[in-house]
Amino acid sequence: MLTKRIIPCLDVKEGRVVKGIQFVELRDAGDPVELARAYDQQGADELVFLDISASHEGRKTMVDVVQGVAAELAIPFTVGGGINALEDMKRILRAGADKVSLNTAAVLRPELIREGAEYFGTQCIVVAIDAKWDEEAGTWRVYTHGGRKPTERLVLDWVKEAESLGAGEILLTSMDRDGEKSGFNVELTKAVSEAVNIPVIASGGAGGSEDFTEIFTDGKADAALAASIFHYEETSVKEVKAHLRNEGVNVR
């Protein structure tokens, strides 16, 4: 049986790992390769690297970081940020990444999803979505550019479109919860997981082990991603998995 995945996320800016509190306040939490190695040893199922400066500071490739991590790791990892064209995907995947994640670029030009999926197969293409509740619309809205720009798109429509274009996975970040440590957004995750037939990674709001249980059971997530609670050693992947196992959630 397929296990639920725990995915530490490393937000990378100029080669260093940082984590923003609601995308604004940044603290330096270390070297990507060091962290990757530590997470691998802790039993992380996958890693995600996001170049958070990519959208507004121009395109930055992370080829060196990717190669360094791929040399150290025996687990898969996804790279996002600054991937705007098929050529960017080729460079990142050939440097050793297993998947690329598209966010702003896919919203601006959805065909990019199809191009990537046709060339690499859908399983290599992750569509990352920054979602924020819109009181007026009564649903979640898609934000781009690192969560700074609201778009016309609604999350539940966009995930379906992304899936039909060839997305292999959705990385869903709740901006309402990101950095708050008050728990994942169960409602949002469940709604998205039921709207599409591809795996959904829940992100934003992890505060402790019990949050993971909730997002896998009530939230119907296939994987859960967290950054700060792992970086600052408030808990470990090992602890979270032990808790999940006790709660009857199937983990590796």
Partner 1 sequence: MIGIVDYGMGNLFSVSKALERIGVPYIISDKKEQLEKTDGLILPGVGAFRDAMKLLDETNLSGFIKEQAHAGKPILGICLGMQLLFDESEENGVFSGLGLLKGKAVKFSGESNGERYKVPHMGWNKLMFHQDSPLTADVEADHVYFVHSYYVTNEDRDALIASCDYFGEVPAVVGKGNVFGMQFHPEKSGDLGMALLKNYTQYVQNTEVEV
Q: How many residues bind partner 1 (CB under 8 A)?
A: 36
Query: What minimum distance in Å lies between the beta carbon of 33 and partner 1?
Result: 13
x/- mask, partner 1, residues 79-118, rule CB under 8 A, reads --------------xxxx-xx-----------------xx
Query: What minimum distance in Å lies between the beta carbon of 150 and partner 1?
Result: 29
**Closer residue to partner 1 in complex, CB, 52/223:** 223
Determine, following the binding rule CB under 8 A, whether residue 74 of this chain makes contact with partner 1: yes
User: Exactly one of 11, 130, 178, 222 binds partner 1 (CB under 8 A); which one?
Assistant: 222
**Closer residue to partner 1 in complex, CB, 73/155:** 73
10-30 exposure pattern, b = at least 16 Cβ within 10 A, e = fewer: bbbbeeebbbbeebeeeeebe
x/- mask, partner 1, residues 170-209, rule CB under 8 A, reads ---------------------------xxx----------
Residues that bind partner 1 (CB under 8 A): 1-5, 40, 45, 67, 70-71, 73-76, 93-96, 98-99, 117-124, 168-169, 197-199, 222-223, 252
